[in-house]
Structure 1
Amino acid sequence: MAASEKPQVTTVESTNSSDIVKDNAHADAADSTIHRDRHGLPLVPQPSDDPLDPLNWKLWIKVVVLGEVSLLSFLALLSASLITPAFIPLSLFLHRGLVETAFVTSTFVACVGVSTIVWNPISNVYGRRPVYIITVAISIAMSVASGKANNFGQILTFRALSGFFGGVPLGLGSATVADLFFTHERGFYMGIYTVSFILGGHVAPIIGGYIERDLTWHWCFYVPAIVTAAVLILFTFTVPETLYSRAPEALARPRRTWLQNMLMQGKAHPTRRLRIVDFFRPIQMLQYPSVLLPTMSYAVSFAYGSILFIITSANLFGKTYHFKPQQTGLLLGIPITVGSVIGEAMSGGFSDWVSEKRAIRRGGERKPEDRLLAIFPAFILTPIGIIIEGVCLEKKMHWIGVAFGIAVASVGLQISTTVVYTYTAECYKPQSPEIGSLLNFARQMYSFAMGFYAIPWAERIGVLNAWVAMALIDVAFFLPIILLLFKAEDWRSRLGEPKFHRDL
């Protein structure tokens, strides 16, 4: 269904209605009104009759919400990586080596991974909106404090806190997309969200070097704080709550008005309370292969297809090409940005198209695994890009070869990102906040660990050997994804649905 079209409403016999109820637990078995897309396929999930239901919002409202959440995600990784080209002057200020200085970014990355494990369960009770506003506001203060830090211990502490609070949009954004859009259109809109946060880390090096040159490295922390503050003010006045329960007991209660929604009066979910077990739900999702295998593959691809380039660029580009910070930022940022945009053009909308066409061919039956057909270019592109950069650095070839390798790897990574986020959310939509937390945690933790061994490994066995080894590791973790095409549906049937969040 095109995003701007209204759902078609069809009245069918009760036997047909019961089929839809089976796929949509929130639907009323006695209700015979089924909303369909333009191809006549039942919408998943089925929207309620409540105008406050995000699925019923006008397209422009959904786009505004998506745009601002995506912008906060963009700024989160911008804040993480803007300092990267300025590692050399920062290391001189801190009296530390480049490997240790890279912990300024690695620490942020690690705490981003932990943040959504804590904050996403809170958002399932009190709402997405207050969690976004509170955490982003604190992260702004921590970013300013990082710029004012006087020693290594202080800057690591403030960067850890900045990541813990500022990383929330990176894990919660996927749940917001699932709140707003139907299954068949999520690939396109999830792609907008994923390319936004990845571009934050990729655009940062382009401008970080110039900020350091013209203003000093301190402004690599002040600039994102200022921009994020402006976006947060806009967000506070324009983005409503997207958490919505379609469970009968929640629908039976009086709903909040639009004003109460914006003022965050009361809990967003009227029938829920926060429990300790909610913070461990992401771990519970690891028992499902349709979550476990994509999470492992994506964590490795993100580390080697993005963070590897970011945390090693100042060291390796300086030694190989004698680049200044701004030159390092351009060589890193431009190809990684261009590659991400191309990768998104090849993934989000394409996976929606594949899913829709195959569902029509089956007579309306949707299968999440159809989306995995769009991920296979990443199987080749990401490891090939890593190897190309390794060859060029080892042989001291022209920097254009390094740029090409980074761009190729970025195309593959963006394809993986969009397809993995969309596929896992489609398999278990009510648990999308936990899945987002899990993907975020695995991605950030693996990237953090890589920061300890990437450069030392390259110094010991050579850049080319180290980069080839990491490319092969990426391939090895991708191979189990192929199993999902043939086994995932059976595995999901045998394991059943998670017993929590059935009211979402």
Structure 2
Amino acid sequence: MIELIRESTFGQLVRFASKNRIFQYPEEKNPDLWKQYVNEELSGKLAHHGHTGPHGEDSDTEDRPAQGLGGVRTRDAQIEAEKENSQSSDTSRTRDLDDTYNEASGVKIDPEKGRDIHLVAWAPNDSENPQNWSLSKKVFVTAEICILTFGVYIGSAIYTAGIEDVERVFGVSQVAATLGLTLFVAGYGVGPMLWSPMSEIPFIGRNPVYILTLLVFVVLQVPTALATNFGMLLAFRFLTGFFGSPVLATGGATLADIYTPKKRPYPIGIWGISAVCGPTMGPLVGGFAAQAKGWTWTIWELMWLSGFALVFLFFFLPETSSGNILCRRTRRLRKLSGNDKLKCQPELDAEKMTGKDIAMMCLVRPFTLNFLEPMVFLLNLYIALVYGLLYIWFESFPIVFTGIYHFNLGEEGLAFLGIFVGAMVVIPPYFTWLYLVQEKKVNDDGECQPEKRLPPACVGGFFVPICLFWFGWSARPDIHWIMPIVGSAWFSIAAFLLFNSVLNYLPDAYPDYAASVLAGNDLMRSSFGAGFPLFASAMYKNLGVGWASSTLAFLGIAFIPIPFVLYFVGERLRKNFSRHARKDF
């Protein structure tokens, strides 16, 4: 627990205020520990050929020993070779080592390409490496990400309970009042395009992005609830969506920080349930409040939920970015030892980056990955369609359950529980498939061919039209209201299987750009989610519930082939038509 709090925003502020006297790290208590954090093999490679990868064929072979790490002569091998081949005295050998050899590894420094650096890296069982955290700590962090996701995601649907009151108070049409929903969704679609790549910068990390944006999100609920005109309401709804957005894309990258690819689908699935809970519980949480107190109470409820998440995460959410943790450790070691040669790989990478490179990474890369990578674009387009169908379909609930079955506002919110129940029902068979089938396709390094993540999506695609046909044609006065609610459960089954397949496929196919590709996914689906509700009411009134739902079902049928295509030809696309996807599978 001490380590957990120390890595939180609260813990880091306490360390800063106490000048590092409280919540100390092991190396601060025992400065001699810095040596165990230096990687001899990688330091030797830097000395030998200037980078930590294997040296090329043009590397100097004269100094290559018969044995050593990666073909690079380490300290012991070097000294042993000198004992056998050199007639020089111990004094001259020691002086030679001091002058021309990397102290951390004993490898001779190449005068042209070599770098005299003591590389700080993760030890195999380093407890500060997020991948090595205990299971209980990982589960706790996963729960925090789920709380944050629920606290933000509910902000879209909770507003819908007060739309009628917004129409009355501000004197606007239903379509105009719906803009409060769509602009919020648009905001959390655009936001991750900035926040997610920013969280990938090792010198920033995940926590500052999460906590600072969540703080602004909570504060902005006040002017939203106190809006004196309709334009003010819409402006702040967009801004709250924008600042609340990071976890909606970066949450998956955070889970990828702490879980191996073999086990990551399980927490991704749980995280997906928290995302489903937001839109489905929003009308229920906000319905009775809006019915009794008006639309402003839906915003106050959102502030209380997200405020609780802010306080909880401020004290207990640790940093999960391994690059950020390693950078901070390296800075501490340099300060404690006075050794300026201590550096880590993220720092070496940063030395090569210009301001233009950083801007490209933060502002351009998510868009290029989204639109120029064929696998990313096809899957994001499919998920966007499902997301758009979800939001346009949500607009039919008042027409069905208020207009046909005469539910009041609070009871209408209860109708969304069918979607939640469907998500609960699909978890056991999905996890069983993961355990019995998919884990067997994972290699010894805990990695899986990305296309092996797609079978659930192939199955889930069929449930979208099943749900919409069932819901549309069972919503009639002569059929009990439970039937359309049961039909709605099929949608969450479809969305769960599709979303989890894609959210696992993308980090596997683009491990170095996980947050950026997930941000692109969020942009696409939020764009559809923001636009579709604007014509939902007119479509359902003009076509009727049955044919309007059928029209959406036919769209769902048209997109069913996408995961099948990627399952069979995705590997060829990655290797031949992608610039950024991994090609070693």
TM-score, scaled to structure 2: 0.71
Q: Is 1:299 paired with 2:402?
A: no
Shift of 1:494: 1.6
Corresponding residue to 1:280 among 344, 364, 367: 364
Q: Is 1:320 paired with 2:404?
A: yes
User: Which stretches of structure 1, 4 residues or more, deviate above 6 A after TM superposition?
Assistant: 25-29, 250-253, 362-365
Shift of 1:328: 1.0
CA distance in 2, matches of 1:99, 1:109: 15
CA distance in 1, matches of 2:431, 2:213: 29
Shift of 1:458: 2.2
Q: In the alignment, which residue of structure 1 is the partner of 2:418? A: 335
Shift of 1:255: 5.5
Shift of 1:407: 1.0
Shift of 1:252: 12
What aligned pairs does 1:7-406 form with structure 2 within 5 A after superposition? 30=69, 48-125=124-201, 126-245=204-323, 254=330, 270=347, 271-272=349-350, 275-278=358-361, 279-285=363-369, 286-304=371-389, 306-332=390-416, 334-347=417-430, 350-351=433-434, 353-359=436-442, 366-393=448-475, 397-406=479-488
CA distance in 2, matches of 1:449, 1:118: 21
Query: SS of the residue aligned with 2:471?
Result: helix
CA distance in 2, matches of 1:435, 1:417: 14
CA-to-aligned-CA distance 1:315-347 (integer Å, 9 cap, x gap): 443322232110111112x11111122233343
Query: SS of the residue aligned with 1:82?
Result: helix
CA distance in 2, matches of 1:68, 1:92: 38
CA-to-aligned-CA distance 1:354-373 (integer Å, 9 cap, x gap): 2222347x999832212211
> Mean alpha-carbon deviation: is it higher for 489-498 or for 464-473?
489-498
CA distance in 1, matches of 2:332, 2:560: 45
CA distance in 2, matches of 1:349, 1:238: 31
- The percentage of aligned residue pairs carrying the same residue is 25
| Contact kept in structure 2, 1:347 and 1:418, CA below 8 Å | no
CA distance in 2, matches of 1:385, 1:443: 19
Query: SS of the residue aligned with 1:370?
Result: helix
CA distance in 2, matches of 1:129, 1:240: 7
CA distance in 1, matches of 2:463, 2:151: 27
Instruction: Describe the shift of the 1:479–1:47 C-alpha distance in structure 2 as closer, same or farther (beyond 3 A).
Output: farther
Shift of 1:86: 2.7
CA-to-aligned-CA distance 1:376-434 (integer Å, 9 cap, x gap): 33122121111222113367633212201211111111111111101111111111101
| Contact kept in structure 1, 2:457 and 2:563, CA below 8 Å | no
| Contact kept in structure 1, 2:262 and 2:446, CA below 8 Å | no
Q: Is 1:443 paired with 2:519?
A: no
Instruction: Describe the shift of the 1:78–1:172 C-alpha distance in structure 2 as closer, same or farther (beyond 3 A).
Output: same
Could you list the runs of 5+ residues in structure 2 that have no partner in the other structure? 1-50, 56-68, 72-121, 334-343
Query: SS of the residue aligned with 1:375?
Result: helix
Instruction: Describe the shift of the 1:171–1:365 C-alpha distance in structure 2 as closer, same or farther (beyond 3 A).
Output: closer
Q: Is 1:413 paired with 2:495?
A: yes
* Amino acid in the other structure paired with 1:336: I
Q: In the alignment, which residue of structure 1 is the partner of 2:341? A: none
Query: SS of the residue aligned with 2:271?
Result: helix
Query: SS of the residue aligned with 1:462?
Result: helix
CA distance in 1, matches of 2:143, 2:258: 12
Q: In the alignment, which residue of structure 1 is the partner of 2:508? A: 426
* Amino acid in the other structure paired with 2:127: P
Shift of 1:479: 1.0
Instruction: Describe the shift of the 1:389–1:255 C-alpha distance in structure 2 as closer, same or farther (beyond 3 A).
Output: farther
RMSD: 3.0
CA-to-aligned-CA distance 1:46-102 (integer Å, 9 cap, x gap): 985543221011122222221111111111111221122232223211212222222
Instruction: Describe the shift of the 1:58–1:87 C-alpha distance in structure 2 as closer, same or farther (beyond 3 A).
Output: same
| Contact kept in structure 2, 1:354 and 1:370, CA below 8 Å | no
Instruction: Describe the shift of the 1:359–1:179 C-alpha distance in structure 2 as closer, same or farther (beyond 3 A).
Output: closer
| Contact kept in structure 2, 1:86 and 1:325, CA below 8 Å | no
* Amino acid in the other structure paired with 1:354: V
Q: Is 1:459 paired with 2:535?
A: no
CA-to-aligned-CA distance 1:76-130 (integer Å, 9 cap, x gap): 1112211222322232112122222222111101111000001112111211100
Higher RCO by CA contacts (8 Å cutoff, separation 6 or greater): 1
Count residues with an aligned counterpart: 449
CA distance in 2, matches of 1:256, 1:403: 57
Query: SS of the residue aligned with 2:448?
Result: coil
> Mean alpha-carbon deviation: is it higher for 345-354 or for 110-119?
345-354
| Contact kept in structure 1, 2:468 and 2:550, CA below 8 Å | yes
Shift of 1:200: 1.0
| Contact kept in structure 2, 1:185 and 1:352, CA below 8 Å | no
* Amino acid in the other structure paired with 1:303: G
Q: Is 1:471 paired with 2:553?
A: yes
| Contact kept in structure 2, 1:132 and 1:168, CA below 8 Å | yes
CA distance in 1, matches of 2:139, 2:222: 30
Instruction: Describe the shift of the 1:426–1:225 C-alpha distance in structure 2 as closer, same or farther (beyond 3 A).
Output: same
Query: SS of the residue aligned with 1:149?
Result: coil
Shift of 1:182: 0.4
Shift of 1:499: 8.6
* Amino acid in the other structure paired with 1:341: M
CA distance in 1, matches of 2:123, 2:273: 27
Instruction: Describe the shift of the 1:148–1:201 C-alpha distance in structure 2 as closer, same or farther (beyond 3 A).
Output: same
* Amino acid in the other structure paired with 1:69: I
CA distance in 2, matches of 1:485, 1:295: 15
Could you list the runs of 5+ residues in structure 1 that have no partner in the other structure? 1-24, 33-45, 258-266
Corresponding residue to 2:569 among 484, 487, 503: 487
CA distance in 1, matches of 2:139, 2:378: 31
Instruction: Describe the shift of the 1:47–1:308 C-alpha distance in structure 2 as closer, same or farther (beyond 3 A).
Output: farther
CA-to-aligned-CA distance 1:198-236 (integer Å, 9 cap, x gap): 211111112211122344321111112122212211211
CA-to-aligned-CA distance 1:231-274 (integer Å, 9 cap, x gap): 21121121121112399xx78981669xxxxxxxxx99545466
CA distance in 1, matches of 2:345, 2:472: 50
CA distance in 2, matches of 1:158, 1:352: 45
Q: In the alignment, which residue of structure 2 is the partner of 1:8? A: none
* Amino acid in the other structure paired with 2:230: F
> Mean alpha-carbon deviation: is it higher for 69-78 or for 289-298?
289-298
Instruction: Describe the shift of the 1:114–1:375 C-alpha distance in structure 2 as closer, same or farther (beyond 3 A).
Output: same
